Chain A
């Protein structure tokens, strides 16, 4: 079964600083990979996804993520944090086939705090 690990349950940055949220997956076959954002008491919004081809994926709100097969990682970055980026971020994976095809498995989540 797929699993995904997010390193760091809390990340705190200053406004304007680089944001780096870490995600590692465990699979012998590279899965589909996603980053979602969740604001308090709201559902999830898709930031970006990796399905094939380009390993550097650009998403909404200035976020991007790079798929590194050798490191089984899909870290999320943003060059300059904004106060509105404060939220919880989830990394998720989905198998490319098999019985779990199309199902999402989520990481534990990382709460991003942005300081003025």
Chain B
């Protein structure tokens, strides 16, 4: 149980285009999903927290107009990187918190999406 998927696993796009990454909780309902980015050989940095049906909360320094997050259902959150540039190339990982959990720190991680902007 508690499986989180991401699609696509890898994506290459041209500079200036937009790309959407999906994060799905397959066997549970997720009231909260988190988006992280991980640069090569670095740690995960939390970008934003999204709650189903409400606006995402972005961490300091993260451009909300560039990284659009939508959490329209209890099983799906999307991250859209708008007008992507090479410096946006990174590994993007989502995680999800189950609706039924009593432990707010409990998160299940997706396998990640490798974005390369050329």
Q: Which residues of A contact B6 (CB under 8 A)?
A: 43
The answer to whether A106 touches B112, judged by C-beta atoms less than 8 angstroms apart, is: no
Could you tell me the distance between the alpha carbons of A44 and B111 in the complex, rounded to whole angstroms? 7
The answer to whether A109 touches B104, judged by C-beta atoms less than 8 angstroms apart, is: no
B46 contact from A41, A44, A104, A107, Cβ within 8 A: A104
* Chain A CB within 8 A of B90 CB: no
Main secondary structure of the interface of B (DSSP, over half): strand
Chain A residues 40 to 62 lying within 8 A of chain B, measured CB to CB, are 41-45, 49, 51
Indicate whether A107 sits within 8 Å of B105 (C-beta atoms), given known contacts A42-B111, A44-B93, A102-B97. Answer: no
The answer to whether B109 touches A44, judged by C-beta atoms less than 8 angstroms apart, is: yes
The answer to whether A94 touches B105, judged by C-beta atoms less than 8 angstroms apart, is: yes
Indicate whether A108 sits within 8 Å of B109 (C-beta atoms), given known contacts A41-B114, A43-B93, A102-B104. Answer: no
Contact mask B48-64 → A, CB, 8 Å, 1/0? 01000000000000000
Q: Which residues of B contact A43 (CB under 8 A)?
A: 4, 6, 93, 95, 109-112
Could you tell me the distance between the alpha carbons of A105 and B46 in the complex, rounded to whole angstroms? 8
Residues of A within 8 A of B (CB): 32, 34, 36, 41-45, 49, 51, 90, 94, 101-109
